[in-house]
């Protein structure tokens, strides 16, 4: 069963086509990296997958059912989306934020039951923020806050996580922390994740598959190893890059242009 199946999906804003006739299938149970240059349509695609926007043409099926057929609340129990910039949660404690993840289950009026509390507690524990539940969200460090938001997504009970550049504002230690968490969750509990990433090395380390976009079109859809070749990187980023392997870790760096010219 495919996670997402897109057929002929386009998305237009006045004067511009952000996504151009995309046909694509995403696999469940893995971490998929969504890469591409700025303006290639990555975030737009993620918003379309999350049902935050609807395609101008074509259709998207989630778990075999057209996204438009999912009820909002039903979708929220199954699929969680983290926007690129998390909004400030003024005066809200982390525990309260995570508890909001139970909204799709309890609605505006329902009281939280013991299974809700359990879901919240295990989400908080899974993300390693149990000791922070009494802290105000706005006083947390970037990495703690991001993990808190992911805990909210887990409390939703979602099987699919869509994350838009979740590590762009974090230092490398926090990046590892957040991506490692997502990766382990997919490995251990069978969740699926689609992550928009700019850092190819982080993608290579923590993602299983890759979807690369360029100008709203699909450039690549395959195992992450397919991205980590000079040819693929040249195609995606338009930049000559060196790919190297050391101690089992593959990594890519932009080639030093000046040296290239001097030593042909």
Partner 1 sequence: MRLWPLATGSAMTAGLWFLAALNALPITNWPTLPWHATNMTIEQILLAFGLVPRAAVALLVGALLGLAGALMQAVLRNPLADPTTLGTAAGAQLAIVMATVFVPGLLAGGNLLVGLGGAAVATLLVMTIGAQRNYAPVTITITGMLVGMLASAVAMAVTLSQGHYLLTLVLWNGGALTQNDFVPALRLFLCLLAALVGAALLARPLAVMSLGAEGARGLGLKVAGLRLVTLCLAVLLSAFVSAEVGLVGFVGLAAPAIARSLGARTILQRLIIASVSGALLLSLTDNILLLVAALGGPSLPTGALTGLIGGPLLIWLLPRMQATVPQTAEDGRHTQPRSDNPVRLLSIITLLTGVTFVICLFTGRGPEGWNIVPSALRDTFLPIRATVLVAAASAGALLAISGAVLQRLTANPMAAPEVLGVTGGSALGYAATVFLVTEPSGLALALGTAAGGTLALVSLSIFVLRRDMAPARILLAGLAIGALASAVLMAIMASSSPQAWSILGWLAGSTSSVTSGGATILATLALALLLVPLIAARWLEMLPLGTETVSALGLPVRRVQFLLIMTAGLATGAATTFVGPVSFVGLMAPHLARSAGLVRPRSFLLASWMLGALLMVLAAFGARTATYPYELPIGLFATLIGVPWLFILLLRKGQA
**77 scored as a contact of partner 1 (CB under 8 A):** yes
135 neighbors 93 (Cβ within 8 angstroms): yes
236 neighbors 35 (Cβ within 8 angstroms): yes
Closest approach of partner 1 to the CB of residue 224, in Å:
26
CA atoms within 13 A on the CB side of 196: 26
> What is the C-alpha separation between 162 and 224, in angstroms, rounded?
18
Binder to partner 1 among 20, 27, 96, 208 (CB under 8 A)? 96
**242 scored as a contact of partner 1 (CB under 8 A):** no
Convert residues 106-135 into a mask of x (bound to partner 1 by CB under 8 A) and - (unbound): -xxx--------------------------
Q: Determine how many CB atoms are found less than 10 A away from the CB of residue 189.
A: 11
**213 scored as a contact of partner 1 (CB under 8 A):** no
Six-digit token string for 24: 């694509």
Six-digit token string for 180: 């490692």
Binder to partner 1 among 68, 139, 141, 257 (CB under 8 A)? 139
Sheet with strand 160-164: strands edge to edge = 79-82, 160-164, 192-196, 31-36, 209-214, 217-223
**219 scored as a contact of partner 1 (CB under 8 A):** no
Six-digit token string for 209: 């598959």
**75 scored as a contact of partner 1 (CB under 8 A):** yes
Binder to partner 1 among 14, 15, 64, 87 (CB under 8 A)? 87
- List contacts with partner 1 (CB under 8 A): 50, 52, 72-77, 80-81, 83, 86-92, 96, 100-101, 103-104, 107-109, 136, 138-139, 156
């Amino acid at each position: 069963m495919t996670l997402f199946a897109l057929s002929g999906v386009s998305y237009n804003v006045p004067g511009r086509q952000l996504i151009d006739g995309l046909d694509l299938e995403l696999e469940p149970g893995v971490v998929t990296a969504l890469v591409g240059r700025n303006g290639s349509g990555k975030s737009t695609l993620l918003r379309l997958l999350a049902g935050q926007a609807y395609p101008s043409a074509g259709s998207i099926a989630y778990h075999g059912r057209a996204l438009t057929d999912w009820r909002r609340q039903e979708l929220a129990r199954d699929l969680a989306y983290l926007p690129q910039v998390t909004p400030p949660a003024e005066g809200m404690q982390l525990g309260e934020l995570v508890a909001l993840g139970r909204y799709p289950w309890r609605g505006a009026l329902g009281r939280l039951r013991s299974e809700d509390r359990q879901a919240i507690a295990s989400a908080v524990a899974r993300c390693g923020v149990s000791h922070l539940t009494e802290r105000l969200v706005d006083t947390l460090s970037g990495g703690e806050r991001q993990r808190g938001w992911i805990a909210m997504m887990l409390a939703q009970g979602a099987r699919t996580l869509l994350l838009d550049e979740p590590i762009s504002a974090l230092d490398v230690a926090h990046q590892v922390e957040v991506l490692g968490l997502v990766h382990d969750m997919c490995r251990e509990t069978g969740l699926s994740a689609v992550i928009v990433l700019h850092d190819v090395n982080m993608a290579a380390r923590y993602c299983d598959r890759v979807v690369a976009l360029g100008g709203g079109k699909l450039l690549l859809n395959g195992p992450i190893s397919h991205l980590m070749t000079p040819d693929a990187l040249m195609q995606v980023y338009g930049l000559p890059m060196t790919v190297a392997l050391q101690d089992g870790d593959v990594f890519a760096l932009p080639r030093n242009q000046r040296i290239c010219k001097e030593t042909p």
